[in-house]
Amino acid sequence: MDKCMVIGSTVCDIMIYVDRLPGREGDVHISKQTMAVGGCAFNSLNILHHLNIPYTFISPVGTGLYGDFVAKNLKQLGIKSEIRSDLENGCCYCFVEEDGERSFISYHKVEYSFNPSWLDSFDLDEYAYIYVCGLEIEEEDGPALVEALSRFKGQIFFCPGPRAELINPELMQKMYALSPILHINEQEIMRLATCTNVEAAVLKLAKQTQRPIIVTLGSEGALLFEAGEFKRISGYPNQVVDTIGAGDSHAGAVIAALYSGMTLSHAVDFANQVSSLVVGTSGVQLAPDQYQRLKEKLNTK
């Protein structure tokens, strides 16, 4: 097993910066707006790509204004998606408030689809880690995706995401039965497990997955549950520009570090450093010297 596979969406993120979101019938001015490639799967894959981790990217790229934008930017980054479609690509409107927090309004199209035949040309036994996000599981093709994941022998890395509680419970049970490592934030896991305490939520889900769980805690770092024990791994506070893609980048960094031979606790610490850098920039793209220093850290472990 000498590769990683990332399955999921690449979208056009339209990032709109505003002091504070208005209420209904409100009227505010924005300070700026930008467009960039994004999506949970892309943001995670972006870290693997820049840290030179071998990967296969299963992310359908469509047509139209947003599809053309995605295709052009993936090419500029040197990232190859294995799937092109003649259907429309969607986008995500990312509203960023003055404290860096963000709200999303998504237009889901072909980028959230999945066809099992896309995997036919790959030897699935080659993949040590397989990333998938709950946003894809929620969609119409979710059952087919979960069935396809059962064909892998590598470790599934599952990020349930902000809408996981809306996924069909029977389908979630099938995901848990695949023994994935869960990567999730504290608000998401409490909603998903219907618990008011993070540790109780972790214990509830760990009984079903029988694998470690990583809960991101923002600037405070992360909570790791492994081998029946909790471990809090400190964060690396940074001045927040925006939090777009920080959690996704954290997930990608954990996979990169595990692939490079780090223990899980060291991998989470490394990921905390990566997400700290991401919140300190607009969007998810770091500077070349930052990626270089991160690659050096991987090589020293």
Position 99 scores a pLDDT of: 83
Position 240 scores a pLDDT of: 81
Tokens of 37: 């490639």
- Consecutive H or E run containing 57: strand 55-58
Which of 181-185, 197-201, 280-284 is predicted with the least confidence, judged by mean pLDDT? 280-284
pLDDT tier at 125, thresholds 50, 70, 90: very high
* Summary mean pLDDT of the chain: 93
Q: Is 215 helix (H, G, I), strand (E, B) or coil?
A: strand
Position 101 scores a pLDDT of: 79
CATH class of 3-22+31-300: alpha beta
> Which residue bears the tokens 């069909």?
168
| Rounded average pLDDT over 35-54 | 94
| Rounded average pLDDT over 53-80 | 95
Which of 11-20, 117-126, 148-157, 201-210 is predicted with the least confidence, judged by mean pLDDT? 11-20
CA distance readout (Å), 91 to 68, 69, 75, 101, 133: 12, 10, 18, 19, 17
* pLDDT 10s digits, 225-247: 999 999 999 999 888 877 778 99
Position 29 scores a pLDDT of: 92
pLDDT at 37 over 70: yes
Q: Is 166 exposed, middle or buried (0-12, 13-18, 19+ CB in 10 A)?
A: exposed
Position 58 scores a pLDDT of: 97
pLDDT at 96 over 90: no
Position 117 scores a pLDDT of: 96
Nearest to 96 by CA among 184, 10, 186, 18: 18
Indicate whether this model's pTM tops 0.75: yes
84: CB partners within 8 A, 6+ apart = 60, 61, 71
247: CB partners within 8 A, 6+ apart = 159, 183, 185, 216, 275
Position 244 scores a pLDDT of: 78
- The rounded Cα 273 to chain-centroid distance in angstroms is 16
Alpha-carbon span 105 to 99, nearest angstrom: 19
